[in-house]
Amino acid sequence: MRFASTHESNNEPTVSLARYIERLKPGQERIYFLIAESIEAARASPYIERLKTRGIEVLLLADRIDEWIMGQVEAFEGKRFKDAARGDLELGPLASEADKHDADAALKESKGLLKRVKDALGERVLEVRPSTRLTDSPAVLVLGEHDLRTTMRRVLAAAGQKAPESKPVLELNVTHPIVKYLDGEKDAGQFAQLAELLYDQAALAEGGQLANPAEYVQRLNRLLVRLAGVHEAAASSP
């Protein structure tokens, strides 16, 4: 088996599992991988932002059969495979005490925001929580350990089969300027619009398709008009 990897600048599948193991970080217990529509999309995915900042190598996959294949393999040389788009990243010893403190603080300080976002999105998400995998993006939808990806759901739908129901977890980067702006929004209607916009953007980043693209564009346009008005008002004030 050969893979494209964040360790290599090109998108060719040249990395072996043995070579990956040789480059493990001290204390690393997982072989991280990510499946996307293309290798380019996997490389730029928000799911691996934290891993890349830590210099942790991620195997990148993009063939339709890859989800089935990676579901059949469990470990290599005692290291379990870990899908970076599912559940907790399981950093283990790679997470410092400062990381754990920051995560606890983020959860404590953002409880009100998380509840407001969950109320706004309702049954579309299982949970809203602070993210430990994001550094640059505001939000991401995280799958459960056994949930099917959007791509696999489309394959089943094309074959006339119905995929099992599942709900993602919405993770928020509570330090991101957009999320901070959301937290400061007092108008309930505007808050709901922005929360839905973040959800839609996270769905697009996951490779999903929006149920109503026109409504997404309208929400985005309303936000841009509003922000432009605020900017103009600030520029014209003495």
SS3 state at 130: strand
Over residues 141-156, mean pLDDT: 71
CB-facing half-sphere around the CA of 230: CA atoms within 13 A: 6
pTM for the model stands at 0.85
Do residues 151 and 158 make contact, with C-beta atoms less than 8 angstroms apart?
no
Q: Does domain 4-93 have CATH number 3.40.50.11260?
A: yes
Confidence of residue 148 (pLDDT cuts 50, 70, 90): low
Domain boundaries, the chain: 4-93, 96-186+195-208
Whether residue 172 contacts residue 139, with contact meaning beta carbons closer than 8 Å, is answered with: yes
**Burial of residue 79 (number of CB atoms within 10 Å: 0-12, 13-18, 19+):** middle
CATH architecture for residues 96-186+195-208: Up-down Bundle (1.20)
What whole-number distance in Å separates Cα of residue 67 and Cα of residue 163? Answer: 15
| Average pLDDT of span 100-126 | 90
Kindly tell me the burial class for residue 8, based on how many C-beta atoms sit within 10 Å of its own C-beta (0-12, 13-18, 19 or more): middle
Report the share of the chain in percent with pLDDT over 70: 88
Predicted pLDDT at 209:
72
Work out the pLDDT band at 233, boundaries 50, 70, 90: low
Tokens representing 158 are: 């094309």
Task: Give the pair of three-digit tokens for residue 138.
Answer: 């505001």
The answer to whether the beta carbons of residues 107 and 172 sit under 8 Å apart is: no
Summarize pLDDT for 167-223 with one digit per residue, the tens. 889 999 999 999 999 999 999 998 999 999 999 999 888 777 777 888 888 888 887
The residue with tokens 């959860």 is 107
